[in-house]
Structure formats: C-alpha cells, structure tokens
Amino acid sequence: MGIGAAAGVSGLAVADRIVRRYGLIPPDHGGLYGPGETLTYAAQRLLTRHSMAREFPRSAISNPPFANGGAPKFTAFLRLQAGGFADWRLAVDGMVAHPVSFSLDDLKGLPMRSQITHLACEEGWSYIAEWIGVPLSSVLEAAGVLPQAKYVVYQSLEPEIWDSVDMADALHPQTLVTFGMNGGELPVGNGGPLRLRVPRQLGYKSVKYLSRLTVTDDITKFGKGLGSVSPEYGYAWYAGM
Ligand SMILES: Nc1nc2c(c(=O)[nH]1)N[C@H]1C(S)=C(S)[C@@H](COP(=O)(O)O)O[C@H]1N2
Ligand SMILES: [Mo]
C-alpha cells in the first residue's frame, strides 16, 4: 500500500470518529447509501449549520405556483375541509415540558414571518413562492422542548406521510409552519391549511397537511427507524441543498 492510500484510510477513520462524537450520523446511514450519506450530512452540518436558504425578490415568484398533487381526497381531510378547517389541530408532544395542541387561529396569533424561497422537487420541477407562517422554533418553544431533544418528527394527516429533521433544522429561523402563500391562504394543492416548510432541503421534506409534531431523542422508535419513509424508497433522509 502506498503512502497516499494509507493517509486516505486514516483520514476516513478520523472523519468517522468526528461524525460519531458530534452526532453527525443521519438515521438512514448505511441503509441504501452507506458512508456517502453520512459524509454529505456531516459536511453540511459542520459547514452550513447557520447558513440561510436563498430568499428572492417578489418579482421572482412563479405564477402560478406548481402543485405536485391535486386537492387531497382522503376522508379525514375532506371532513375537516367541510368545516372550513375550524377543527384542524397541530399537536405537539414527545420530549416537551407541556404537550399542546394548536388550532389554525392559535398559530396565526403567534409572531408571523414570510419568506420567498424556492421549492425543488427531487424529480426536477420547482417553483418560487412566498410562504407565510410562524417559525417552527416558536411552536416548539410554546411546548418547551427538553434539552435532550435531537429530532422533531412531523406527521401529515395524509396516511403514511411523515418525516423528521434534526434540531439544527427544527430551530433554524427559516423553517416555518406555514398557512399562507403569495399573500393569501395556502391552497390545499400546496399543502393547505398547514404545511411545514424546510427551505434548506428538497421539496419532499416540506410535508403537507401537517397535523403532529413529536420531539424525540431516539429516531429509531419511529417507523423503520430511518428518520422518514423516504429512505425506504431510495431517497435520503437528509436532503440538504
Ligand atoms: N402530505 C404530503 N406532503 C408532501 C408530498 C405528498 O405527497 N404528501 N409530496 C412531497 C414532494 S415529493 C414534493 S416535491 C412537494 C411538492 O410540493 P407542491 O405540491 O407545493 O409542489 O411536497 C412534498 N410534501
Ligand atoms: Mo418531490
């Protein structure tokens, strides 16, 4: 073995030790991707923990915004829609001091933020829209996240749809619980009445029809333990851009 190859091996060993020490291993590591996913996540977390997704001027807003799916047709949604979403709730539970449940009006009473960002689907299409909502960090703060928290698992009212982010993304100022788009209500095709926007990651992390947040320090307890359903279908848990 040449000197170069030896240095490469020990470099990887050091990287391995660093990612373990600082909790930089994504939940789907070694599944379908192996070390590549760990290195992408670790590098992004070390270099860009505090970086911001690009925000655009109003003139860049896509008209009309692309909607990946049509209006939802599952029963639980249709029932709530018939009532004007008055009974829609966002439950917050898990590792929190006081589990809470917000109505849409409760959420609209928190300090709002809007941002114009790019939503990119992994399949290639994308659009730019203004997203209006409240920072996920404010919602979590209201419930009192315990210091041991490592992930926020978020669930859609749509069956089988859930995902998670680490605390760096959960508390990031651009991660929003959104209920508005382009100055109006968030259309149901785009996830209305409530959607999590994670603008530093690909579109599939922005789960529509948001109904529940669960704070945890053990992601292996959820689903198949990979952090979301995406890795089961070959998509990375961490979809940072
Ligand atoms: N509940 C739910 N959320 C979802 C999806 C979905 O099918 N159901 N699709 C995801 C994917 S793959 C993408 S690219 C974006 C598309 O968002 P859009 O419909 O606003 O274009 O929503 C994400 N959130
Ligand atoms: Mo997507």
Pocket of ligand 1 from Cβ distances under 6 Å: 66-69, 119, 121, 156, 158, 161, 190, 203-204, 206-209
Q: Residue 156: its pLDDT value, please? A: 98
Total structural domains within the chain: 2
Nearest atom, ligand 1, residue 156 CA: 1
What is the CA angle 171-176-180, rounded to 5? 170
Mean pLDDT in the chain? 89
239 in a structural domain = no
214 in a structural domain = yes
Full residue range of the structural domain in which residue 45 is found: 1-49
Which one of 208, 212, 228 would you pick to mutate in the ligand 1 pocket, going by the greatest count of ligand atoms within 8 A of its CB? Answer: 208
Residue nearest to atom 4 of ligand 1 (CA): 207
Question: Is the domain of 39 the same as that of 117?
Answer: no
Quick check: 45 pLDDT over 80? no
pLDDT tens, position by position, 119-148: 999 988 899 999 999 999 999 999 999 999
Q: What is the pTM of this model?
A: 0.89
Nearest atom, ligand 1, residue 121 CA: 14
Length of the chain (residues): 241
Encoded tokens for 181 = 């788009």
Question: Is the domain of 137 the same as that of 76?
Answer: yes
Q: Where are the alpha helices (DSSP H) in 102-170?
A: 104-108, 136-143, 167-170
127 CA to middle of ligand 1, Å?
12
Question: Is the domain of 142 the same as that of 190?
Answer: yes
- With b for 16 or more beta-carbon neighbours within 10 A and e for fewer, the 143-152 pattern comes to bebeeebbbb
pLDDT tens, position by position, 81-127: 999 999 999 999 999 999 999 999 999 999 999 999 999 999 888 99
Nearest atom, ligand 1, residue 120 CA: 14
**Cα dist. 134→52, 123, 137 in Å?**
17, 28, 8
Question: Is the domain of 174 the same as that of 227?
Answer: yes
Question: Is the domain of 39 the same as that of 91?
Answer: no
Rg of the chain on CA atoms, in Å? 19
Nearest atom, ligand 1, residue 68 CA: 19
pLDDT tens, position by position, 175-213: 999 999 999 999 999 999 999 999 999 999 999 999 999
Q: Residue 2: its pLDDT value, please? A: 41
Question: Is the domain of 200 the same as that of 118?
Answer: yes
167 in a structural domain = yes
Q: Is cis: bond before 159, omega within 30 of 0?
A: no
Question: Is the domain of 29 the same as that of 146?
Answer: no
Q: Which of 36-45, 165-174, 206-215 has the lowest mean pLDDT?
A: 36-45
238 in a structural domain = no
Question: Is the domain of 81 the same as that of 99?
Answer: yes
* pLDDT range class, residue 40, cuts 50, 70, 90: confident
> Alpha-carbon distance 146 to 136, whole Å?
15
Question: Which amino acid, 198?
Answer: V
Pairing assessment for the beta strands 100-102 and 90-94 based on DSSP bridges: antiparallel
Question: Is the domain of 60 the same as that of 33?
Answer: no
> Alpha-carbon distance 153 to 28, whole Å?
14
DSSP 8-state assignment for residue 230: G
CATH classification of the domain holding 137: 3.90.420.10
pLDDT tens, position by position, 7-19: 455 566 666 666 6
Residue nearest to atom 7 of ligand 1 (CA): 69
Question: Is the domain of 32 the same as that of 92?
Answer: no
115 in a structural domain = yes
Q: Which residues surround ligand 2, an ion (CB under 5 A)?
A: 121, 203-204
Q: Which of 21-25, 75-79, 141-145 has the lowest mean pLDDT?
A: 21-25
240 in a structural domain = no
